[in-house]
Structure 1
Amino acid sequence: MKRACSLTEKTKQFLAIFSPIFVSQISLMATGFFDTVMSGQASHYDLAGVAIGANLWLPVYTGLGGILAGITPIVAQLNGASRKGDMAFLVVQGAYLALFLALVVIIGGWFLLTPILNIMQLEAAVHDIARGFLAALSIGVVPLFVSVVLRNFLDALGYTRITMLVTLCVLPVNIVLNYMLILGNLGCPRLGGVGAGYASAITYWCLAAVSLGVICFKEPFKSYHIFRKFFRVSLAAWRELLAVGLPIGLSIFCEVSIFGIVAMLMSEYGTATIAAHQAAINFAGLIYMVPLSIGMTLTIIIGFEVGAGRYDDARKYSYLGIGIAVAFAVGVTVGLLIFNNKIAGLYTGEPEVFEQIKSFLVYAIFFQFSDAIAAPVQGTLRGYKDVKVTFLMAIVSYWVIGMPTGYLLAKYTYLQPYGYWVGFIVGLAVGATALAVRLARLQQKYKM
């Protein structure tokens, strides 16, 4: 990365970093997308089982991945301050932390998965598919978490195009394995939703191997000597990573876990509603990759500018990112209104599920505008390493406001399952407003 002076130069640099991040995020999200769509082709029981499994796994993965994402603003600021020599130690400590978190997840899953699924009182077929999906997925947890650290390092340096290429290399592996293991093609057993778990796990091993190869053998990353020297575990370094990463991870967990809880609560409305809810959330998640990628881009660029002491440039980048996100939200709204039927048809051919997906997608329209503010503002605040307020607002907006509102509307109004989605919308709006106020005050402080 380099300093950009004019608005045109800033826009070019922003898009040069954003575009590969967006493609990478879509590619990573596509793993879940193909798991969901192809499982739905097996049966609606497989779709529901994968939906439950994914909603249990996603908060854990994104929350712990958020903790590991604490390395991004730290490395970005080191890069802005031209402190290349400090990066190898930090990345290796991040890898150690990733291994530790992965082991915690595997051990915790071993003891807690079955009791959690039993509490949900699912149909027997859905229960077994969800459990088998997550058990298969656990094989790939270690390489997945390590690859998150490696990707964050590459992104923080501004080489987002490299992480895009790495991700694109392994995406076809996932698609082919899904085709083989979910649907039983090319001589493989038909495993249904459980096959999606095995396909994802193998894909994660491939992702880690390719990422490691790039960092160790390709310039300019080879010159950072990331794994050339053995470093002992440093609790001081872990504290530095956790000071930034833990609030990020907890705020993401608060945001994502609410969707997982609601998926469980949807079980009282039947398997068709679970499947429709998951399909709509899956599509909304794909759309969310744009504002999320904008936020990730802002973390990198603003971290770089703050590290170099250029606070005015950091402020201008934040306005640019938010403006692009809002413009995209307008386009998405038009698209969802026009192509509602076609989108719903991607997920199912069953009439009952199809109609419910269409209804859920209408509510998803309202997500877009709050996301267009919240995600870029969160990314900007992380670039400043201002992460505690984001965590506090995640608790308030989702669990103090959004979840109770959704529950009351679902239980005591005609909205029923759609009431939870109204709760999502209210929580997102409150969070976006509060974070925007926080950013304005922070930037005013750096003007002084």
Structure 2
Amino acid sequence: MHLTLTNSQKWKQLFNILLPILVTQLALSAMTFFDTNMSGHFSSADLAGVAIGVSLWVPVQTGLNGILMAITPIVSQLVGAQRKDKVSYYVIQALWLSLTLSMIVLIAGIFLVKPILHGMNLELRVHNVALYYLCAMAFGIAPLFAYTVLRSFMDALGQTRFTMTITLMSLPINVLLNYLLIYGNWGFPRLGGVGSGVATAVTYWIVMLVTGIIAHRGRIFAEYGVFSKIYCIAASAWKELIKIGVPIGFAIFFETAVFAAVTLFMSSYNTATIAAHQAAMNFATTLYMIPLSICMALTILVGYEAGAGRSRDAKIYSVMGISSAIGLSLITAVVLVIWGEQVARVYSTDPQVIQLAQHFLLYAIFFQISDAIATPTQGALRGYKDVNSAFLITFLAYWVIGLPVGYIIARWTSFGPYGYWIGLITGLAAGAVALLFRLLVVQRRFAEKKRHAEAV
């Protein structure tokens, strides 16, 4: 990452950082996809068990990963301010925090997982697969959280191609281990869906170790001396990490959890409607990787420019990122209008499911446009270390506006199941407007603060 003087240089740096992040996010999503898909080829009970395990684990994982992602704006601002000597200190503190969070999750899981699964009244086989899948995944929590810290450190330096390469390496390893442990090939135990949990946990350990070695010995990262000194836990550093990270984590959790809630409400409709909803939601989630990746790139670039006190450059990156996301969302909208039926056929051969999924995909168009504004805007705000506002806005947008509006429309109008999507779109749109307004306020205050400092 370096100082850019022209807009063309800024566009080049934005895409150099963005494209590896996008590939990384798609690869991480593919890992969960292969866990579910390969378990489904073993048996329907294993598919259901893994799907339940994933649905319980993902909101927790994404929320806590969000807390640890606080290291990204901290490091990017330190680098922008030419305070590289403090980077290793904060990375080590974040690693201690990641270990502590993993221990909390493990202890909570011991007491909560069984009661939750018992309360779901599952078939015995499905219950056991979900339980032991989560038990297997538990062994990968500590390395996953440590990897999140190290990845965020690398990304904050603009070296996103390293984490892309590591994540791409992990995908075939995960698929191979699934092949061995789910189906019992080459003399390995035949574990079914539980094997996908073991495979993923082992993959997390491999990825964490590789990332750690590169962070320590890699030519680009060696100057930061991340592991040259192991610092003791410092309350002041933890306070800063938690102050920034907790709102980020909760904002991500609120977003992932609300979609899980909608899926739960959808269970009251017939099988075709549920299947169509899941198909459209899966495709929309895949498209969401675009604004999410732009969000992460903006956190890095805006943080770097804000740390250097270059308010104009930080603002330009924000405009570039948000406008790129909007432009790409309009392209995906055209794709869904023209090829919506073909997309639906990827997920099902049932004519009823295909027809229903097409309708859901039309609503997904408005999802993409709202996400294109809201998600990158959150990334820019994180670059300024302004995280509490986004946390409050996402909570209000999804849980106070989106879900209640969707429930009312679905239950008391002729829209039926589409009402939940209309509610979420309404919440997303309200959140996008509020976040954009907040970004303008933060940018103005930042510029005024800089002018005041220069005047003094």
Shorter-chain TM-score bucket reads: over 0.9
- 1:134 maps to what in 2? 134
The structure with higher relative contact order (CA 8 Å, sep 6+) is: 1
- 1:148 maps to what in 2? 148
* Distance (whole Å) between structure 1 residues aligned to residue 198 and residue 425 of structure 2: 34
1:158-197 counterparts in 2 under 5 A?
A: 158-183=158-183, 185-188=185-188, 191-197=191-197
CA offsets, 1:331-375, max 9 Å, x none? 111223344344344445566665554444333222100110011
* Distance (whole Å) between structure 2 residues aligned to residue 408 and residue 45 of structure 1: 34
- The alpha-carbon deviation at position 156 of structure 1 amounts to 0.5
* Distance (whole Å) between structure 2 residues aligned to residue 44 and residue 438 of structure 1: 47
- 2:302 maps to what in 1? 302
CA offsets, 1:221-248, max 9 Å, x none? 1222211212111111100111111111
* Distance (whole Å) between structure 1 residues aligned to residue 356 and residue 194 of structure 2: 25
SS of alignment partner, residue 231 of structure 1: coil
- The alpha-carbon deviation at position 293 of structure 1 amounts to 0.7
Letter in 2 for 1:377: T
Change (3 A) 1:32 1:342: farther
Is the Cα–Cα contact under 8 Å of residues 301 and 314 in structure 1 kept in the other structure? yes
Is the Cα–Cα contact under 8 Å of residues 181 and 188 in structure 1 kept in the other structure? yes
- 2:453 maps to what in 1? none
SS of alignment partner, residue 407 of structure 2: helix
* Distance (whole Å) between structure 2 residues aligned to residue 307 and residue 417 of structure 1: 46
SS of alignment partner, residue 116 of structure 2: helix
- State the identity %: 51
- The alpha-carbon deviation at position 403 of structure 1 amounts to 1.3
CA offsets, 1:239-283, max 9 Å, x none? 011111111111111111112223333344466655554443333
> Size of the alignment, in residue pairs?
448
- 1:232 maps to what in 2? 232
Runs of 4+ that moved beyond 6 A: none
- The alpha-carbon deviation at position 382 of structure 1 amounts to 0.5
Change (3 A) 1:247 1:168: same
* Distance (whole Å) between structure 2 residues aligned to residue 90 and residue 405 of structure 1: 42
1:262 aligns with 2:273: no
SS of alignment partner, residue 16 of structure 1: helix
- 1:87 maps to what in 2? 87
Bigger drift between 71-80 and 210-219 goes to 210-219
* Distance (whole Å) between structure 2 residues aligned to residue 213 and residue 396 of structure 1: 42
- 1:242 maps to what in 2? 242
SS of alignment partner, residue 421 of structure 1: helix
* Distance (whole Å) between structure 1 residues aligned to residue 19 and residue 71 of structure 2: 21
SS of alignment partner, residue 120 of structure 1: coil
Letter in 2 for 1:389: S
* Distance (whole Å) between structure 2 residues aligned to residue 326 and residue 76 of structure 1: 25
| TM-score (normalizing by structure 1) | 0.93
Letter in 2 for 1:114: K
**RMSD value, Cα:** 2.3
Bigger drift between 50-59 and 8-17 goes to 50-59
* Distance (whole Å) between structure 1 residues aligned to residue 358 and residue 38 of structure 2: 19
Change (3 A) 1:97 1:275: farther
- 2:420 maps to what in 1? 420
Is the Cα–Cα contact under 8 Å of residues 402 and 426 in structure 1 kept in the other structure? yes
| TM-score (normalizing by structure 2) | 0.91
- 2:209 maps to what in 1? 209
SS of alignment partner, residue 82 of structure 1: coil
Change (3 A) 1:245 1:395: same
- 1:4 maps to what in 2? 4
Change (3 A) 1:326 1:98: same
Letter in 2 for 1:81: A
1:42-441 counterparts in 2 under 5 A?
A: 42-183=42-183, 185-188=185-188, 191-269=191-269, 276-348=276-348, 357-441=357-441
Change (3 A) 1:371 1:348: same
Change (3 A) 1:207 1:280: farther
Residue ranges of structure 1 left out of the alignment (5+ in a row): none
Letter in 2 for 1:234: A
Residue ranges of structure 2 left out of the alignment (5+ in a row): 449-456
Change (3 A) 1:113 1:421: farther
